Amino acid sequence: MSQRISVSLMIIMVLIWALPAMSTDIYLPSMPAMAAYFHVKLSIIQYTVFFYTIGFSVGALFFGPVSDRIGRRPVILISMFLAIFSTFTAMVFGELYLLFIARFLQGVAMVGLGSTMRAVIRDICPDIKTMAKFGSVLGIAIPIASALAPVIGGYIEKYLYWRLSFAFILVYLLIFVVYLLKELPETNHNKLERSLRYLFNDYSHVLLNRDFFRYNLITAFAICSLLGYLTISPYLLQVKVGLSPEQFGYTNLLISITLIASSYLNTRMIYRRSIDRLLRIVVVFLGIAGALFFVFGMFDIHNLYSILCPLVIMIIGCGFISPNASAGGLGIFTKNAGTAGSVYSCVQMLGGSAGSGFITLVSHHFSDYMQPLMGLGGLIIILAVIGLIFTNQLIHRSRVSID
């Protein structure tokens, strides 16, 4: 059953929605300095993104089913406190392995916020297209965070110290946990009565739905592409192109503007075209971007244009894929929307982990044989081809059901 939600709470939801992106993007300009601080290669510091995505994936399997049973509010609050603890750990302790652990725990905490907020959207929206439109509005939070975070992090790196990037996130969390303690309502009024003993059955019910599986993997392909790029972006733009930390931060404005424009266009187009047909169009955009990355990497062409032009095309695809595939997948379920949201978050971040891990391996072990930009392009091309197959299957399924 749909519910009314106040403007103030909607704003808070948007700001919380931005946290997962901000917690990674803010320290990207500091990666070269972090590598120097810990006396390791830049490719080793890239593993902080990988461990974050692994934590995000693992945590996703837990929080959703719990929120289906005990409610969204307690899960969001628990996740907030875990995020505070892990961010404080990353800020204070000086050993690299503790930073890896803190990033893993941050990922667990952030998925508790992200996947549960996704279930909240399912609670308050009456139909799939409303979910997609609301998802597009919330999706604007991610590009704004992606724009502001590296700019802030770039100036922190230039004038202060890289650990203060984590201090910024910590203050952000402390401000909002106070509001949430006082004002956060419970939106899940249709709780599951079954105990967690039936968790495997709940997951099976979600995972065995073929349409959900296709929507979920299409989103995972977009996240895989995006996090693959973000993982090597400090290397591409600071090491190869020679941008300063603050200049690097400003390049993310282009990503954010593109994502905002894509999200806005999606809110206008969602009622004119079917979700599945929109997905097929934008998956092609991913393939075009991958082909351009591959060619520029093959010929060792590294400049702002060779990196940012295909990036814009890729981001257009990601901006349409996320809200539409999420709405298509989660709109299938009602009572166990939290479980579906958890599976969705887990699979999409496993895709992110795969992208981040693959690019880190290429950078660390195979850089003498393959340019990382070439590896990124090849990966995106493969994902786009599989995504095109899935969208065609979804469109065919829609035609059959109509007939």
Task: Convert the pLDDT of each residue in 305-336 to its tens digit.
Answer: 999 999 999 999 988 888 888 878 877 776 66
Q: pLDDT: is 273 or 401 the higher one? A: 273
In the predicted structure, residue 182 carries a pLDDT above the cut 60: yes
Topology classification of domain 7-183+199-402: Growth Hormone; Chain: A; (1.20.1250)
The pLDDT score that the predictor gives to residue 141 is: 65
- In the chain, count H helices and then E strands: 17, 0
In the predicted structure, residue 200 carries a pLDDT above the cut 90: no
The pLDDT score that the predictor gives to residue 343 is: 81
28 and 230 Cβ atoms separated by less than 8 Å = yes
The pLDDT score that the predictor gives to residue 390 is: 94
The mean predicted confidence, pLDDT, of the chain is 83
Report for 20-34, 131-145, 196-210, 289-303: range of highest mean pLDDT:
289-303
116 and 62 Cβ atoms separated by less than 8 Å = no
The pLDDT score that the predictor gives to residue 126 is: 61
With a CB cutoff of 8 Å and minimum separation 6, the contacts of 21 are 142, 145, 146, 149
The pLDDT score that the predictor gives to residue 274 is: 78
What's the mean pLDDT in 366-383? Answer: 86
The pLDDT score that the predictor gives to residue 402 is: 40
For the chain, how are helix, strand and coil distributed in percent, rounded to 5? 85, 0, 15
What's the mean pLDDT in 191-210? Answer: 75
In the predicted structure, residue 399 carries a pLDDT above the cut 60: no
CA angle 257, 260, 266 (to 5 degrees): 140
Tell me the pLDDT band of 106, cut-offs 50, 70 and 90: very high
In the predicted structure, residue 244 carries a pLDDT above the cut 70: yes
The span from the CA of 257 to the CA of 230, in Å, is: 16
Cα–chain-centroid distance for residue 133?
18
| pTM given for the model | 0.71
135 and 329 Cβ atoms separated by less than 8 Å = no
pLDDT in tens, 15-42: 777 788 788 888 988 998 999 999 998 8
The pLDDT score that the predictor gives to residue 382 is: 95
Report for 112-121, 236-245, 247-256: range of highest mean pLDDT:
236-245
Closest CA to 23 of 82, 107, 114, 139: 107
What's the mean pLDDT in 191-201? Answer: 70
The span from the CA of 373 to the CA of 379, in Å, is: 10
30 and 150 Cβ atoms separated by less than 8 Å = no
Which two structure tokens, joined as six digits, stand for 280? 């097929």
Tell me the pLDDT band of 132, cut-offs 50, 70 and 90: low
Closest CA to 132 of 325, 399, 303: 325
The pLDDT score that the predictor gives to residue 207 is: 79
Which two structure tokens, joined as six digits, stand for 39? 């006396």
In the predicted structure, residue 234 carries a pLDDT above the cut 70: yes
The pLDDT score that the predictor gives to residue 114 is: 77
Work out the percent of the chain whose per-residue pLDDT is above 70: 86
Distances (CA, A) of 290 to 212, 295, 317, 372: 25, 9, 11, 12
Tell me the pLDDT band of 220, cut-offs 50, 70 and 90: very high
Buried b / exposed e along 138-168 (16+ C-beta atoms within 10 A): bbbbbbbbbbbbbbbbbebbeeeebbbbbbb
